[in-house]
Amino acid sequence: MTLPAHLGSTARRVANVLRSRGPRTRAELIGLTGLSRPTVSAALADLTSAGLLTEEAAQTGPAGGRPATVFRLARGAGLAVGVDIGRRHVRVAVADLGHHVLVDYPAVLDLDADDYPESALDAAARQVDAALDAVGADRSEVVGVGLGIFAPLTRTGRIGSPALLPAWADLLPEEELAGRLHLPVRVDNDANLGALGEYVWGAGQQSADLVYVKVATGIGAGIVLDGRLYRGFSGTAGELGHITLDARGPVCRCGNRGCVELSAGGRALLRHARITHPHLDSLVELVDLATLGDPGCRRLLADAGRQLGFALGGLLNLINPERIVVGGELGAATELLLDPMRGGLADTAMAAAAAAAEVVPAQLGARASALGGVALALGVDRAAPL
């Protein structure tokens, strides 16, 4: 965020809280900044005079009183961009610094991003320009870009398990996209960004401790603890798909045996489904068949849900989250997947932890990781706990 030079440090401090935490009341800003009421009021007046702030009534106010005023950064403060690169898609979302999502722009890739990373990154840069053009903006208004990659990433921005994505192993995706856009870029894996997206705009709102599970071709999890994204020491926390369920099972592409992905991941499910549906093309089609009552597809989803529940049970015992949000292409199967998952959780988690965790479908669908990229660019992951 580029603020006018005449603005003081307190105005900048308040603006940074509004950027990462979104619209807030005066009382909330006092609590989050640690500043006095007169100091916060003066900072808000300075931001308003600079054209960087808008005011609106809160949706709910004190019982019997007037609704509180909520302060939000205006469009003039800048824009944040989220980019989600998947195996066959790139998706770009643009929001202002007041957390208003302005556009969500998906596109299909001509080549698999697994094997052609340079082509995928080129397409992402073009898609960013197209999305900005759609809202009448250009790169000069962008304060940051958040990039999601479909693989674990270390804290240095490298692929955490090169065997999973060998064509990307020698690349630094953050630097690659920054070089194409000439903008500051931050990178994280798609499940972490899905967790941030659902935390800010979706099914994770009002929940400070949550696990977002992305069930698609691969399986990953993003973990939010006390309102902060948890990445682990090296940055690869949340690799739910590579938890071993059977130490003597088949070898996974990650090099370990009996991983969750081998029984509940999209690749495995499609392989089994094609025994009776040889022309099945995608997970979306598999879910559609199951929804329409196909017994084989329904059983595949039920078994996958139960296996995921087994894996998540250990996670519940360790971190005791309030909510589990299930998204990704298979997340669209809702109760076909979630009821068996709840059963698996009940079998493997402590009763108190399983009873406390609400298992819910994601609300953002395919938009979750791109919107999580916006949240990353906004600095939501760096904000102090509420």
- Determine, yes or no, domain membership for 180: yes
Predicted local distance difference test score (pLDDT) of residue 49: 92
- Determine, yes or no, domain membership for 4: no
Predicted local distance difference test score (pLDDT) of residue 152: 84
Torsion-angle region of 250 (φ positive above 0: left; ψ -120 to 50: alpha; else: beta): beta
97 and 25 in a common domain? no
Integer Cα distance of 367 and 375 in angstroms: 12
299 and 260 in a common domain? yes
- Determine, yes or no, domain membership for 92: yes
Q: Which of 25, 55, 76 is the last residue of a domain?
A: 76
Mean pLDDT per 10-residue run, the chain (386 residues)? 75 94 94 94 94 83 68 95 94 97 94 93 97 96 96 86 84 95 96 96 92 91 92 88 89 89 91 93 91 94 94 92 92 85 93 92 94 97 76
- Determine, yes or no, domain membership for 1: no
3-state per-residue secondary structure call for the chain: CCCCCCCCHHHHHHHHHHHHHCCEEHHHHHHHHCCCHHHHHHHHHHHHHCCCEEEEECCCCCCCCCCCEEEEECHHHCEEEEEEECCCEEEEEEEECCCCEEEEEEEECCCCCCCCHHHHHHHHHHHHHHHHHHCCCCHHHEEEEEEEECCCECCCCCECCHHHCHHHCCCCHHHHHHHHHCCCEEEEEHHHHHHHHHHHHCCCCCCCCEEEEEECCCEEEEEEECCEEECCCCCCCCCHHHCECCCCCCECCCCCECECHHHHCHHHHHHHHCCCCCCCCCHHHHHHHHHCCCHHHHHHHHHHHHHHHHHHHHHHHHHCCCEEEEECCHHHHCHHHHHHHHHHHHHHCCHHHHHHCEEEECCCHHHHHHHHHHHHHHCHHHCCCC
Q: Do 35 and 13 form a contact (C-beta atoms < 8 A)?
A: yes
Integer Cα distance of 295 and 303 in angstroms: 12
210 and 269 in a common domain? yes
Predicted local distance difference test score (pLDDT) of residue 5: 64
71 and 98 in a common domain? no
339 and 262 in a common domain? yes
Q: How many CB atoms lie within 10 A of CB 136?
A: 8
124 and 243 in a common domain? no
- 24: CATH: 1.10.10.10
- 315: CATH: 3.30.420.40
Structural domain of residue 151, as residue ranges? 78-195+369-382
The pair of three-digit structure tokens given for residue 60, joined into one six-digit string: 């709910």
Number of domains in the chain: 3
The pair of three-digit structure tokens given for residue 154, joined into one six-digit string: 């270390």
Predicted local distance difference test score (pLDDT) of residue 132: 97
- Determine, yes or no, domain membership for 3: no
Q: Which of 28, 58, 76 is the last residue of a domain?
A: 76
Torsion-angle region of 64 (φ positive above 0: left; ψ -120 to 50: alpha; else: beta): left
Q: Which of 76, 102, 121 is the last residue of a domain?
A: 76
- C-alpha closest to that of 163 among 255, 72, 89: 255
- Determine, yes or no, domain membership for 2: no
216 and 161 in a common domain? no
Q: Do 94 and 137 form a contact (C-beta atoms < 8 A)?
A: yes
109 and 48 in a common domain? no
Predicted local distance difference test score (pLDDT) of residue 331: 80
- Determine, yes or no, domain membership for 124: yes
- Determine, yes or no, domain membership for 23: yes
288 and 299 in a common domain? yes
**pTM of this structure:** 0.91
133 and 159 in a common domain? yes
Integer Cα distance of 123 and 213 in angstroms: 27
346 and 211 in a common domain? yes
62 and 19 in a common domain? yes
